[in-house]
Amino acid sequence: MGRVFIKLAYKGTKYFGWQIQPEQLTVQECIERELTKLNSGNPVSVTGCGRTDTGVHASEFYAHADLPFEMSPDNLVFKLNNMLPSDIAIHQVFTMPDEAHARFDATARTYHYFIHHEKDPFIEEISWYRSHELNIEEMNKACLQLMDHKDFECFSKVKTDVTNFNCDIRNALWIKSDKGYIFSITANRFLRNMVRAIVGTMLEIGEGKMSLEEFSAVLKSKDRSEAGQSVPAKGLFLSKVEYPYFTKDNLSD
């Protein structure tokens, strides 16, 4: 088949993130294991569009792999879905040029964070329960500050291997939903723990514990200790990944 892109989704509750880790269950490990079986036991590696942390979900995720066996894309989707656990779903497989790269070719990624304000056992693993009313008008004013800023070291994990902390945030918005609140953010790249740190800091604004002026000072500080606490992973979803070669005509919803 050559190089393929795999469009998938997963519930991250029981996984230690996407990327393979020693003696820990990860999504990448599960997919590589089943592709290796389909390749007569010869190892197959996959490369993801990013690295979601432990407990983070993905309603849209892409990975690429070089497959030496022949199989139609639809048949591969069918086989993988029957082999993988119920919390990992394969949506589509695309044949791609050899140079196509799931991580480096992505032009934007969108994350959503879900908060529910009434106790609900049916969404407990995919949303964070928090009963406080939030002032999303003030939080959305903070979103405008985010989009005017470039260096987000203040929201990054301290120990990280990145060469710079610059991100181009193209959209950031809080909306009120039937169950609570949803935060949406789109950027060309994200730092480790960045979205969860942003949400935790903005909650302080929404609860009246931090002013917009103080939020601006946090952005300029480049100091993680100045920002708010990171919110739990369970409410975070990678929800969209954009590529220059996928359009509405060749990529279904």
Q: Which residues lie across from 236 on neighbouring strands? A: 113
Which amino acid, 83?
M
Q: Which residues contact 139 (CB under 8 A, 6 or more apart)?
A: 174, 202, 205, 206
Q: How buried is residue 119: exposed, middle or buried, by Cβ count under 10 Å (0-12/13-18/19+)?
A: exposed
The residue written with tokens 């050559």 in the block is 2
CB 200 within 8 A of CB 229: yes
Write out the two tokens for 104. 């480096």
Name the active-site residue from 53, 74, 148, 223.
Answer: 53
Radius of gyration of the chain from its Cα atoms, rounded to whole angstroms: 19
**Alpha helices (H) in the chain, listed in sequence order:** 27-38, 73-83, 136-147, 194-206, 212-221
* Distance spanning both ends of the chain, measured CA to CA: 24
DSSP of 155-223, one letter per residue?
GS-SS---S--B--EEEEEEEE-SSEEEEEEEES---TTHHHHHHHHHHHHHTTSS-HHHHHHHHHH--
249 carries an active-site annotation: no
Write out the two tokens for 78. 């069918």
CA distance 52 to 15: 10
Residue numbers annotated as active site? 53
